[in-house]
């Protein structure tokens, strides 16, 4: 029997989502307090992720801590904002501008400090703006050296806080440097610090034609480096950030199976963009899908799955899943 899963959500799940056409957003803009209140309405949700400067800063640290804890929630991750303004448009850690690099590193250190004080030990390091849009636009070796160097500096700054690399193949750049599980493993190996690991964002793996289960297994196999999980779904070609369970049923089952098998015991966090859906409902559905699929694995029996995986027998697996899902 598997352990009880712990669920978190990016607190922006409950805010209006915008895209490049509807910049004002499809829903209603809420205050941080309202976002926290929304989070409490999601059954099973016990954690939230905050974004540095958006929700937490030097001045509101105690207040935000009180509000979140008061609402019965934990802070599971602080994400430094090194990607959401024009300042970072040509990169953060990999920027060719040394002042921008310095500022980005400072932003991350600030978030690390805030996280520490908020009793949160996870920092989401997403290098979304570090990449290129056009051919012949990037100095690849220089960029990678800078990413390694900046990550190393942050890692050493507060060794008790974990830096979690969130890789993604593209968007907002047409190509992001840290784009795949393999590149992430290489980065981790270059940095080589115990407090630097990675997360799997399910949608990002789908975009990269990875199997999320394989990616999770590799991160664990080569150094126990899977520190965090982001759940969502998409149509495999873009980061649609849909609710969990909406498209990929079998692959989600496989992922949940492997997370248990490789000993992942971190948070199951949602990173969805419910553009046209109501946020509380979207988070609720996502959690229920994860719990439902996880429970199904228990009902099938892990040993039986171990056995079909060991045989690599696609038809036996098909029958097992089919009977579990359809009868």
Q: Which of residues 133-162 bind its own copies (CB under 8 A)?
A: 133-141, 144
Q: Choose which of 57, 292, 298, 301 interacts with its own copies (CB under 8 A).
A: 292
The tally of CA atoms less than 13 A away on the side-chain side of residue 133 is 7
Q: How far is the CB of 112 from its own copies (least distance, A)?
A: 21
Regarding 327 and contact with its own copies (CB under 8 A), the answer is yes
Half-sphere exposure (CA, 13 Å, Cβ side) for 291? 13
Counting contacts by CB under 8 A, is residue 226 touching its own copies?
no
Compute the least distance from the CB of residue 69 to its own copies, in Å. 29
DSSP 47-100: EEEEEBTTTB-TTTHHHHHHHHHHTT-EEEEEE--SSSSGGGTT-STT-S-HHH
Which of 236, 260, 302, 307 touches its own copies (CB under 8 A)?
Answer: 236
Site string for its own copies, 67-106 (x = CB under 8 A): ----------------xxxx--xx-----x----------
Minimum Å gap between C-beta 66 and its own copies is 29
For its own copies, which stretch binds (CB under 8 A), given 31-39, 69-77, 111-119, 126-134? Answer: 126-134
Cis-peptide, bond into residue 172, ω within 30° of zero:
yes
145 and 96 Cβ atoms separated by less than 8 Å: no
Closer CB to its own copies, residue 23 or residue 303? 23
Alpha-carbon span 168 to 160, nearest angstrom: 25
Is 282 among the residues that bind its own copies (CB under 8 A)?
A: yes
Site for its own copies in 162-201 (CB under 8 A): 169-172, 174-175, 179-186, 189-190
Burial 206-234 (b: 16+ CB within 10 A, else e): bbbebbbbebbbbbbeeeebbbbbbbbbb
228 closest CA partner among 40, 38, 7? 7
Residues 13-52, one symbol each (x = binds its own copies by CB under 8 A, - = not), give ----xxxxxxxxxxx-------------------------
């Amino acid at each position: 029997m598997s352990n009880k899963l712990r669920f978190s959500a990016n607190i922006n799940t409950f805010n209006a989502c915008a895209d490049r056409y509807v910049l004002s957003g499809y829903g209603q803009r809420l205050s941080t307090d309202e976002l926290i209140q929304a989070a409490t309405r999601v059954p099973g949700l016990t954690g939230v992720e905050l974004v540095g400067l958006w929700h937490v800063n030097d001045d509101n640290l105690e207040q935000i801590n009180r509000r979140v804890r008061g609402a019965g929630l934990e802070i599971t991750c602080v994400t430094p904002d090194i990607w959401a303004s024009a300042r970072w448009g040509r990169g953060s850690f990999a920027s060719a501008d040394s002042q921008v690099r310095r500022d980005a590193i400072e932003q991350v250190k600030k978030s690390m400090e805030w996280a520490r004080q908020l009793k949160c030990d996870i920092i989401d390091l997403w290098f979304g703006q570090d990449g290129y849009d056009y051919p012949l636009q990037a100095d690849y070796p220089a960029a990678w050296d800078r990413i390694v160097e900046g990550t190393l500096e942050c890692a050493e700054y507060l060794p008790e806080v974990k830096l979690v690399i969130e890789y993604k193949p593209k968007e907002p750049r047409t190509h992001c440097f840290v784009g795949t599980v393999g590149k992430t493993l290489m980065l981790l190996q270059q940095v080589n610090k115990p407090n630097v690991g990675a997360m799997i964002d399910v949608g990002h793996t789908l975009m990269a034609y990875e199997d999320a289960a394989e990616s999770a297994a590799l991160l664990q196999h080569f150094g126990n480096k899977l520190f965090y999980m982001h759940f969502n779904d998409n149509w495999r070609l873009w980061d649609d950030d849909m609710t969990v369970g909406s498209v990929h049923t079998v692959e989600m089952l496989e992922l949940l199976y492997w997370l248990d098998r490789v000993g992942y015991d971190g948070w199951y966090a949602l990173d969805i963009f419910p553009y046209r859906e109501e946020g509380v409902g979207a988070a609720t559905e996502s959690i229920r899908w994860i719990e439902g699929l996880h429970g199904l694995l228990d009902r099938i029996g892990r040993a039986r799955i171990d056995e079909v995986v060991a045989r690599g027998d696609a038809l036996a697996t098909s029958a097992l899943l089919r009977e579990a899902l359809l009868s």
